[in-house]
Amino acid sequence: MTPENLAILTDLSQRAGIDKAANDFKRYGSARQLYNFDIDKADEY
């Protein structure tokens, strides 16, 4: 993730009361790919 993505995720998780570092999360593709997510190919993302 880009530094901008990490900053956004940090802000959102703080607002939601989630006590996790933004670096603990993994991005699984773009929003466009998310609509076509295939669980059988999860390891490829």
User: 22 and 13 in contact (C-beta within 8 Å)?
Assistant: yes
Token pair of 15 as six digits? 């607002």
User: 29 and 16 in contact (C-beta within 8 Å)?
Assistant: no
User: Mean pLDDT across the chain, nearest whole number?
Assistant: 81
Assign 42 a pLDDT band (cuts: 50, 70, 90). Answer: confident
pLDDT > 90? residue 38? no
Assign 29 a pLDDT band (cuts: 50, 70, 90). Answer: low
Q: Please tell me whether the overall predicted TM-score, pTM, comes out greater than 0.75 for this model.
A: no
How many folded domains does the chain comprise? 1
pLDDT > 70? residue 45? no
User: What is the extent of the structural domain holding 28?
Assistant: 3-17+24-44
